[in-house]
Structure 1
Amino acid sequence: MNIVQAFKTGKFVVLAEMNTPKGVDISRFMTDARHIKGRVDAVVVPDMDNGVMRLSALGGAAALKQAGIDPFITAYGRDRNRLAIQGDLLAAQVLGVSGILVVNGEAMANSDHRDAKTVNDLDEIGILRCAAQLKAGKDLAGFDLDGAPEWIVGCMLPAVADDAALEREMEMARTKIQSGAAFIVTQPVFDAKRFEPVARQLKSLGVPVIATVFLIKSVAVARYIATNEPGAHLSEETITRIRKASDRELECLKIAGETLAQLKASVSGVLIQSMGWEHRLPAILDAAGV
């Protein structure tokens, strides 16, 4: 069952994020992907996430497709102009990519190539409109395409610290949906219970909501998130639970799995971000009973 059918039938969708290697040795990437084959609905391949130069998302997606794994890729305007974006989106269709997630690319200040020049010819709304026009059979110059793509396109909801910020981002999300987004992915959720009223508000947008489950890898990571990302609502109780655990790594995996399981009641699916611990994705799925 593909993602579109899953959304229509109400099946709870599980996506997993996997970064490509910084090089051409994809053996670990493929091994980790095969370990979750059949347990997730699709693998999302970020395109040079955090500004780190890696094997392209298209390359990783093509390898996943050859292995029988449904791939999604991210798209943004930081590194490409509108010609390159359109060419890559069309290539994604040819390579078997079934989903595009339009995101806001991180600043080059955090990149491992800080001297690289940014492009930003199209912003998130521009890329969503571009994708919609391609699906309608025309390019951005108005010329007819020889075959139109059929992937599903989604957008991101940025982190919000309060109700006012949430309302502003929901208004922006409405514009993104009007521009062609068919589903929305939230920032990481660390407290499923506290997220429930937000999920109810997001459902009013009329598209499936995918909540992000972020794997906390240590007490230090948890403390950083709680201190620097107030909208994350990562509780002191969670930090204490990790700190007191006899096996902190296992406890972090359990917390991610529990969060995933709890979110089933409020959203259409989840996106698991393991941030380099892709080999631990099966353990998270086990903890969630997926």
Structure 2
Amino acid sequence: MSFQKRLAANEFVVLAEMHTPKGVNISRLVSDAKRVKGKIDAVVIPDMDNGIMRMSALAGGVLMQQQGIETIMHVYCRDRNRMALQGDILAAHVLGVQNLLVAHSEDITEGDHREATAVNDIDEVQLLEAIAKLQTGKDMEGFELDGIPSYTAGCTLAPFSNDKGLDEQLKLAQAKVKAGAAFIITPPVFDMVHFSGFYSKVKELGVPVIPTVFLIKSLAIAQYIATTDPGSNISEDVIKRIRKSSDRELEGIKIAGETIAALREVTQGVLIQTLGWEYKLPDILDAAGI
């Protein structure tokens, strides 16, 4: 069953994020994808996430489709103008990629090409509106298309650190849903009690909510996130649990698995984010009982 049909049927979806290589060696990407084929519903392919130059998400999406794995491709406003965005989106349809995620893009100055010029010709709401318009057979300027594409488009909720930030993100998400977003990906979940309060608000937007589960690879990473991102809500209990473990990598996998299992009871899916440790995805899925 396709990702779109599973969402429509209110079935739980399991997504895994996989980055394209910084180069042309696709062996790791393909082998990681093969490890989880049949265990996940779709692979999410970021497009130069965190401002790091990599092979395009369009190429990664096509590679996944060739492996028989459905793809959800990131599209950003940072790197392309409205013409290039529409052209890539049309190309994605022709090449078999029909799931799009309009994602929040990080500041280019945080990446590895700091002299690059950010474009931001349109914003995320306008991009979702453009995707919706393409599906009516017209481009952003109203010119007719030769052949009409079809997509399932979603959006992301940017991280927030307080109630004011949450309210701003919810207001923006409401505009994105109105513009055509059919699902929402949330920031990583580290605390189920805090997530429950957040989820009660975001689910009112009326579309499937898919939280992110981030693999904590080490004690240092857990401490770094807790210190630099107060909105993450990593508790001291989690940090102590990892510190006391005789196998901290395994403990992180267990925590991710437990979080997925808990979210399975209340949400319509999860996005597993491992940032380079995609080979650990099968272990995380096993820990989650999937």
Q: Which moved more, 1:81-90 or 1:114-123?
A: 114-123
Conserved 8 A contact 1:128-1:176: yes
2:75 aligns to what? 75
1:285 aligns to what? 285
Gap regions ≥5 residues in structure 2: none
1:119 aligns to what? 119
CA distance in 2 between counterparts of 1:194 and 1:207 reads: 20
Deviations 1:201-232 (A, max 9, x none): 11111000000001111111101111111111
Conserved 8 A contact 2:77-2:120: yes
Task: Name the SS for the 2:234 alignment partner.
Answer: coil
2:97 aligns to what? 97
Gap regions ≥5 residues in structure 1: none
Are 1:108 and 2:108 matched, yes or no?
yes
CA distance in 1 between counterparts of 2:31 and 2:272 reads: 17
Task: Name the SS for the 1:153 alignment partner.
Answer: strand
Identity %: 54
2:12 aligns to what? 12
Quote how far apart the aligned CAs of 1:167 are.
Answer: 2.0
CA distance in 2 between counterparts of 1:107 and 1:160 reads: 16
CA distance in 1 between counterparts of 2:198 and 2:121 reads: 32
TM-score, normalisation: structure 2: 0.98
- Whichever residue aligns with residue 179 of structure 1, its letter is A
Quote how far apart the aligned CAs of 1:115 are.
Answer: 1.1
Quote how far apart the aligned CAs of 1:197 are.
Answer: 2.1
CA distance in 2 between counterparts of 1:21 and 1:110 reads: 19
1:170 aligns to what? 170
- Whichever residue aligns with residue 46 of structure 1, its letter is P
CA distance in 2 between counterparts of 1:98 and 1:247 reads: 40
Are 1:136 and 2:111 matched, yes or no?
no
CA distance in 2 between counterparts of 1:83 and 1:164 reads: 35
Conserved 8 A contact 1:42-1:70: yes
2:23 aligns to what? 23
Quote how far apart the aligned CAs of 1:97 are.
Answer: 1.1
1:54 aligns to what? 54
1:64 aligns to what? 64
Task: Name the SS for the 2:60 alignment partner.
Answer: helix
2:153 aligns to what? 153
Conserved 8 A contact 2:3-2:70: no
CA distance in 2 between counterparts of 1:83 and 1:214 reads: 34
Alignment length, in residue pairs?
290
CA distance in 1 between counterparts of 2:161 and 2:266 reads: 20
2:85 aligns to what? 85
1:229 aligns to what? 229
RMSD: 0.9
Conserved 8 A contact 1:260-1:288: yes
- Whichever residue aligns with residue 149 of structure 2, its letter is P
CA distance in 1 between counterparts of 2:195 and 2:223 reads: 20
TM-score, normalisation: structure 1: 0.98
Quote how far apart the aligned CAs of 1:163 are.
Answer: 2.5
CA distance in 2 between counterparts of 1:39 and 1:98 reads: 20
2:42 aligns to what? 42
Task: Name the SS for the 1:100 alignment partner.
Answer: strand
Task: Name the SS for the 2:34 alignment partner.
Answer: helix
2:250 aligns to what? 250
Conserved 8 A contact 1:200-1:266: no
1:204 aligns to what? 204
Deviations 1:122-164 (A, max 9, x none): 1111111111111111101101111222110001111122233
Quote how far apart the aligned CAs of 1:5 are.
Answer: 1.1
2:215 aligns to what? 215
1:271 aligns to what? 271
Task: Name the SS for the 1:204 alignment partner.
Answer: helix
Quote how far apart the aligned CAs of 1:98 are.
Answer: 2.6
